[in-house]
Structure 1
Amino acid sequence: MTTETSKYRRDMGTLGVLFIVVNGLIGAGIFGLPEALHGAVGTFAPWLLLIGGTTVMAIVICFIELTKLTDRSGGPQRYVGDAFGAYPGFVIGWTFYAARLISQGANVLVMAAYAAALWPVLGEGFAKVILIILVLGGLTIINVIGIGRVVIVLGAMTVFKLLPLLLLTVIGIGAATHSGPVELPEFSAVEGIALAALYAFVGFENATIPAGETKNPQQAMPRALMAGLAAVTLLYFGLQWAYSHSVIAGTGSDAPLTALAGEYAGDIGAILIAATIVLSVLANLTAGHTSASRIPPSLADDGLLPAWFGKVSRWGTPANSIVFFGVVAILFSLWDDFLALAAVSTLARLLAYISSIAALPKLRQQAGLAPFNTTIIVAAPIALSLSLWAATQTDATQWQALGGFAMVGTLLFFIARRANNAV
């Protein structure tokens, strides 16, 4: 894979990449997961999350190896395209982008729903529409005027959303009731909840996409990926431990962490966690906007989409693509019947994992390296097995939706190729 000077400004360092990793992983899911995990496997739940994070580390290790081979934007699209050709890379990039665009619209509705729990007027009508436009419009503006500014905003969000969670973890562990030794659950119970635990760890790949706007990405990204997943895994373990050893565990709460905070700090604690959920989803939206909006410029740079998507603003950012992403996400968020398609985002991620890992040996050969090293020999089989298993847990509707996105993308691909050949 070639290394070349980026036409975009490299304003993001290791810390910025770390913020994208952490906020790509921590959205709204972990706030509802503790009760479901405890109900399935009891006090083994924290250990299941620890096992899940450790297993997903195999996928992350493969991506770490991939990030060492290029400093260009695109992430999975770049890896697959450089290894297997323009069209396979385009399909991976386009389907990932389309699914992420839809999930961005779905996630902002999730944020609005949580915000309405704090201020009911935001839950419907004109106020809800204004909130959506302000959030996605604001994220668009921040991204246009520089990824360095995104890092500042994302850093502040990360601190303010992690502090309450860390505080709840410490208080919860300190107040945990003694429940004796951990009892191993039945395998069928683990199998039934394992996919939900695994989904708590998807989203790290977002950080690999804006490599062209990152300082020394071949060093920054491996460090941030490893540190980010490790930190989030430990946080999940601590939160689940605190919950599973509390009097709230097993009560069937729909908002387990809010209930746990209410147990220790009353209404103030519950409100604080509710506000933390809103901020967490907002930070996840920020990280998603920053990463996904950089996919079309990568495709445009390779002549696979119109050059319009790759136009650089005076701030050194792909402004047209960023604005396009923001506007379309707003339109999706105002359409109430599309939410079932949000699950397609996970399937697109899994296919990106599988194809990127499969590309690794060939990319290493292109770089003049041996196709396999000890790290890859150990990690790749685990990573591929886990991703393939997760992909088999999806349903036909998700595959059909993803196929529809691929067909639309294919049409755009050949239009762009024809236009480039005509020049």
Structure 2
Amino acid sequence: MGENLIGENLMDEDPMGDPVAFLQALIRAQRQGEAAVQQRVADAARRLGCTVERVRYRPSEVPMVAEFASVQAIDAGERESVVATFKGRGGGRSVIFFAHPDGEPVAAIERWRHDPFAGVIEGGRLHGWGVADDLAGVATLVQGLQAVLETGMAPLGDVILASTPSKRHARGVSALLHGGLRADAAVYLHPAESGAGMREIKAFASGLVEFRVTVDGRAPDTSEISHAAFAHRAVNPIDKIWLIHRALQALDARRGETVRHPALQQAIGRSTNLVVSHVAAGSSDAFARIAPGAVLAGSLSFPPPETLADVQSAIEAAVRGAAAEDAWLRDHPPRLAFVSGVSGAEVSPEHPLYRVVADAVRRVTGQAPHVNPLHTSSDIRNPIVQAGIPTVGLGPFGGDLTQNGLHDEWVDVEDYRRAVKVAAEVIVGWCGVGWRRFRA
């Protein structure tokens, strides 16, 4: 399908008639919360002729496959996904378009220059709370299907639209997959954090493990408030945590030399990294006291097909090795806790899904897209790892994400329109289309 199939004249009095107006309507609904956004999506999908299901679930009850998270990290409440299915006429491949309607908790809106719930357009950018994370994706999945139907054609394969929570381990798409949702392919619709917009396809995601190490110390045997004069009789846990730190640095160096993935090596010259991001011990206003313990926390990124189990074993061995070389740590072993972890995943540029999506991007934008291999923990991994469904991601140019502590979050209006056209092209190229006998 070429650009000529997706018409430009979709404007009418209803926000469904124009992609930008529909996205603005979702931003306005965000003022009332996630449920209001989901209601908009459900209503819009029904108008397109979809069968709509509201799926309630609890994230803590969704089975973990090639991932894990601490109980404290997982959303404890009940959540809801909207799943809308446009039944194909038959003979085509099926696809799941998914995106997440949940944004960051509303806070610090006084920092915004624009009303975060008005959908203000300025300088070609549409501003709104959660617009780039991920209301633009939610709007795209609805508007992409509408763009196809507006031509008088309908998909041959089933098109499934899933607006499903994701943030803070909400695990919406995982719940749907474990509930039996299946298709021949999936596309994750989310604005590109890299700034490349529609010139980029997410077809690669590294895995990530987050961990914490705790070591004990021993205060000197004294009733004095100050420990300085007795420090030689103490065991300072800060000294011991640095032994762990050095062992992790050595592990990182070894992995940097031995763990290699062609895409990452070409992009940044390295395929895995271990980052120590937090060290804590003692009090910031008690300079002469030995802390009772110390904590180190960090994360390790790793490429597919390396497994979570292998990476965890490597971290465990590094910590265990550091403890074996120190008399105190041998008798008082460090406590290693894995906080969360996800596996990596990828789709080859030679895969039929990638070729269809890349061709769609090329037709709409006039540019050949590239794979950005630097996304870690991307949601494209969920259908791949948990259900064997090939998945790629794409989305418009956006920025100033609230989750990064910024304000006046935005997406580029024209690139968002291009995203809608690309989604429509993917439906045609992957599912196939035939003329409809009626309009939804």
TM-score (norm: length of structure 1): 0.22
Which has the larger share of helix? 1
Bigger radius of gyration among the two: 2
Higher relative contact order (CA 8 A, sep 6+): 1
TM-score, length basis structure 2: 0.22
